[in-house]
Amino acid sequence: MLKYSDAHCHLLDNPDVDSALSNARACGVDTFIVAPSCITQWPEIIKLTNKYPFVFGLVGVHPWHVCELPQEWMSELRKKLIENPKIMVGEIGLDKNRPHMDLQIKVFTHQLKIAHEFSRGIHLHCVGCWNMVLQILDENKNALPPFILAHGFNGRAEDIEKIADRYNIYFSYGPRALRQRLGVSRILKTPLSRILVESDDIDSCVIPSLLQKISEILNVETDILADIIYKNTKQIV
């Protein structure tokens, strides 16, 4: 059976996480990167990561929740990263559809610096703010994380090759990308060494069919692409 990986999922929102993992592994999904939906899920993310060697967790402040933060959130984030070397930072970023952009930028920049401090990769949520994100990355070019995973990448297809090496970015695509003409264009522009797949959901069983559809778009045999994406994922966990 081919080995698959889910580069970004929200399994903690599934009422039966253990069954969700078991079912997905039966489908060949071998590696899971699990994101919290909110800061209160950090302890469960860590617990799940410690329980299963094939689960890799994230802790971070989503741009949707920047107004809900306790005063000590940064010290708590640092504490979690110190205690859990397997944990990455995410998902973090900017979202034009949400208010308080100044605060979003402040929280994102703090987390970017913390990720650099602890040498952890980040999962980036960016909606309609790629110019601002790239500006922030340039302003912090000497203090960037070891890699960036652009979760559900929705920036300009023509920028992909330019920013991939500049910021060590991997580009992750889920079912939504396949429903959009621009999503397909982005997939076609993504170097094979930088492409990942994600469910962005509570069920990772969609990964094999998703990868097959992407292999058809790229005109690459499914087993070859599965191996490439699996190896790409292992580069960042």
At 60-74, the pLDDT tens digits run 999 999 998 999 999
DSSP for residue 54 = T
Asked if 75 and 41 touch (Cβ cutoff 8 Å), the reply is no
At 161-181, the pLDDT tens digits run 999 999 999 999 999 999 888
At 193-215, the pLDDT tens digits run 999 999 999 999 999 999 999 99
- Indicate the residue type of 147: F
Residue 1 has pLDDT above 80, yes or no: no
Residue 103 has pLDDT above 80, yes or no: yes
How many whole angstroms from its chain centre is CA 74? Answer: 20
Asked if 194 and 170 touch (Cβ cutoff 8 Å), the reply is yes
Report how far residue 42's alpha carbon sits from residue 79's, in angstroms, rounded to the nearest whole number: 11
pLDDT the model gives residue 180 = 87
Torsions phi, psi of 163, nearest 5?
-90, -15
- Indicate the residue type of 229: I
